[in-house]
Amino acid sequence: MELLLDLHPDAYPLEGFRRRQLLDWVYGQGAGTFDAMTNLPAATRQELEQTYLLNPFRLIETVRSADGSVKYLFTLQDGRQMEAVYMPYLDRKTICVSTMVGCPARCAFCATGAMGFGRNLTPGEIVGQVLAVAGGEDIAPREIRNLVFMGMGEAMLNYDNTMLAARILLHPGALGMSKRRVTLSTVGIARGIRRLAAEDDLGIKLAISLHAPDEETRKRIIPTGQVNSIEEIMSAAREYQDVTGRRITMEYTMLRGINDHLWQAKLLAELLRGLVSHVNLIPMNPWPGSDFESSTEEQIQAFYDLLEARGVDVSVRRSRGRDAGAACGQLALKRPNAHSGGAA
């Protein structure tokens, strides 16, 4: 049975007014069943029920943090599990969604990387996270206005499905998000960055998880560094900026004694010269079994100060939901069969 959410809004069943009604039920009101779509004829609802699957999830679990953020653990129809994080702020509601079960990038400091790779998510399984979170928080789906593809998985290695999901999110008949409020994060897949630059009708923002300015350190903590060198990543980033004119965010997880030396801050500043960018310094979110620790507050501040003194636009991004295990993969990692399809 086909998942309805996998379809682009322009390809939805029904025509004209009835299609708009169906889209409003799915994306405007977040209807969980076809029976709830009471202004559609009963025969139409029955036909939809027999043809399409509306819910991509078998089970949804939540862990709530004292800071208001909520970790969602989804069990997919095949039993695999993945996660999303809902982060409410005073001026916006943000969701961090996953694009894969597990992740093939295997960043050494990341809980998701420790899971290994399960499979790619379909467009509907990506978009469905937004609808499910909205339902769990008792808000309309269109109230979630900020979205980041920064959850489990490497979005650039599930490129086509992620791009279709992005187009659904932006479509005025679906969630109608602003392209300026949707960000795609990549560990540095150069060919994917170049492909994204060519998506003229999309216009979403780009974040690159650099995490180290020198090859030796980056290859130690990010295995994909063996394939995509820093030089290749920066070349692709500059091409992206030349084509789009958009600022690029550089994500930099602060690892104690690994990538937080001041000589690395100097090298990072040199690397970013001439690029319109913003650096997010991220204290590592600890997880059981990790061999890494977050840099000290003093070292983070010294790193920040040096970058700022050298003209780099920089901030420190504090992780939310630490008490809820909100680092990517933490909840699913506790379920040993979650990535293989054996989860219940």
Catalytic annotation present for 328: yes
Residue 111 host element (H or E): helix 111-115
Q: How many angstroms separate the CA atoms of 115 and 121, rounded?
A: 15
Measured CA to CA in angstroms, residue 189 lies from 144, 156, 251 at distances of 28, 6, 14
Question: Does 65 count as an annotated binding residue?
Answer: no
Three-class SS state of 201: coil
Q: How many angstroms separate the CA atoms of 57 and 79, rounded?
A: 9
Q: Is 47 exposed, middle or buried (0-12, 13-18, 19+ CB in 10 A)?
A: middle
At which residue do the structure tokens 């992620």 appear? Answer: 162
Question: Does 271 count as an annotated binding residue?
Answer: no
Chain center to CA of 98: 5
Q: How many angstroms separate the CA atoms of 96 and 151, rounded?
A: 6
Count other C-beta atoms under 10 Å from residue 71's C-beta.
Answer: 24
Q: How many angstroms separate the CA atoms of 210 and 250, rounded?
A: 6
Which token pair is 303? Answer: 């790193």
Catalytic choice (83, 96, 125, 251): 83
Q: How many angstroms separate the CA atoms of 41 and 66, rounded?
A: 44
Catalytic annotation present for 83: yes
Q: Residue type for 78, please?
A: D
Question: Does 210 count as an annotated binding residue?
Answer: yes
Question: Does 103 count as an annotated binding residue?
Answer: yes
Question: Does 110 count as an annotated binding residue?
Answer: yes
Question: Does 285 count as an annotated binding residue?
Answer: yes
Three-class SS state of 303: helix
Catalytic choice (96, 125, 251, 328): 328
Question: Does 147 count as an annotated binding residue?
Answer: no
Question: Does 209 count as an annotated binding residue?
Answer: yes
Q: How many angstroms separate the CA atoms of 72 and 263, rounded?
A: 39
Q: Are 229 and 190 a contacting pair, CB within 8 Å?
A: no
Q: Is 135 exposed, middle or buried (0-12, 13-18, 19+ CB in 10 A)?
A: middle
Q: Catalytic residues, which ones?
A: 83, 328
Q: Please give the annotated binding residues for S-adenosyl-L-methionine, written as ranges.
A: 153-154, 185, 209-211, 285
The annotated binding site for [4Fe-4S] cluster is made up of 103, 107, 110
Residue ranges of the annotated binding site are 103, 107, 110, 153-154, 185, 209-211, 285
